[in-house]
Amino acid sequence: MSGFDCTSVHDVNFDAEKVRFSHQLINRNFGPSYQRSLLNATLAVFGLDEISTRMLEAVSSAGVGHVLLIDSTTVQPWDSNVNVVDVGESRATTWRNYLLARRPEMSVTICSSVTRAEQASIVKKSDVVFCSLEDVAFCERLADLCEELDTPFVWSGLGPSGGAVSTFIGDITDSVARFARLDPENRIYFRGMSGAINLECTLTGVVAASEIVRLLLGQRPLAFNRELCIATDRLSLLAVNLPDSAPHRTFTDPLSAPAYYGLLSEPAASASDTHTISVHDLQRMLKDKDKIQLVDVRDPYEYEYAHIEGAVLMPMSSFFDGDAWTDLDNTKTPVFICRVGIRSAEVLALAHARGLENAMHVGGGMVAWSATIDRSVSAY
């Protein structure tokens, strides 16, 4: 594969590493051999999201020497929550630059787009593979590959009450099928996008990093065939044993829609395909307010924090309960907006089902509006 060569893993600047870590390591009974193991280790990270990037910061500080970043996406405005602000640039390039700025002696290799054969090459040359992508189909296929090539696989995700981490080694096919119970319907809408919710991704990423380091040092991981549940609201860590057997699920197609990472229902994805407008479209449409009604479907505390002037607050729950429909102005075209376009798409699908076929929603939502139209409207 072009530009990919794991044979370059090396002992570069090990003396500098010893100086950097020596005092703490001596006190904690970690000898140079442990740090040398980490420095010579190769970690493959599939997908750079809010969990994996927090994990990367932690393993970088721990001293892991070689990291492979497999991601073909670009930085979005909400990535500013994880110390990345180069909107529109490659996520992989941006995070490589960020990691090398923190620790120049690291070796960071980018694999922006890989075939199945190239995935196998990456997995084969890696000591541990990590993935926290929301596409369960992709995660399971990657886990199958790790089993085939006898490479430990660490998976992480978010549930409705916090994060989860599991580690799979050896015969993992049945075990990996179990984490599919964290299906998209039970997940929170977004990862670590604002305020206290950031803590879920941070804690989950650090727990995942701890599992990775334990694997690289030859220690038994805490999450081996178990699920470590990180309950953010209670700041607690619970280990749940996975059942001995589970029906094996075979996926043929990814669960995720390209634009929304599997978070949209099918009706919402269908509705948004043809009735999504950009924030630039919205800016033009707002010049003639007699024709549209801008409806903010976020929660009241979000609306209070930041909103577009003239937007009417009608939380998504009020549409599902049926109370909000009578509040819509039937002389205007409803345009729904939320934080980044997921909740508004769900309301859009409901509107279409009720016969409001001219209804639209704003792709990118408030985050895109703040980033490109009006920075005085705070992003969160």
pLDDT tens digit sequence for 144-175: 888 888 899 998 877 666 777 888 886 654 44
Q: What is the percentage of the chain residues whose pLDDT exceeds 90? A: 30
Q: Among 16-20, 83-87, 250-254, 342-346, name the one with the lowest average pLDDT.
A: 250-254
pTM above threshold 0.85: no
**More confident: 200 or 271:** 271
- Indicate where the chain has its CATH 3.40.50.720 domain(s): 6-241
Other beta carbons less than 10 A from residue 75's beta carbon: 21
> Which whole number is the average pLDDT over 336-364?
93
- Please report which confidence band the pLDDT of residue 269 belongs to, taking 50, 70 and 90 as the band edges: confident
3-state secondary structure at position 362: strand
The interaxial angle of helices 116-124 and 136-148, nearest 10 deg, is 50
Residue 184 has pLDDT above 60, yes or no: no
Q: Which residues contact 250 (CB under 8 A, 6 or more apart)?
A: none
Residue 273 has pLDDT above 60, yes or no: yes
Structural tokens at position 282: 């919205």
The predicted structure's pLDDT at residue 299: 85
Secondary structure letter of residue 276 according to DSSP = E
Span 266-372: which CATH code? 3.40.250.10
Residue 49 has pLDDT above 50, yes or no: yes
- Indicate where the chain has its CATH 3.40.250.10 domain(s): 266-372
Q: Which residues contact 58 (CB under 8 A, 6 or more apart)?
A: 205, 206, 209, 210
6-241 CATH pick, 3.40.228.10, 1.10.3210.10, 3.40.50.720, 2.30.130.30 = 3.40.50.720
Residue 359, sorted as left (phi over 0), alpha (psi -120 to 50) or beta, turns out to be: beta
Distance in angstroms (rounded) separating the CA atoms of residues 132 and 288: 44
CA nearest to 46, candidates 180, 142, 148:
142
Distance in angstroms (rounded) separating the CA atoms of residues 288 and 144: 55
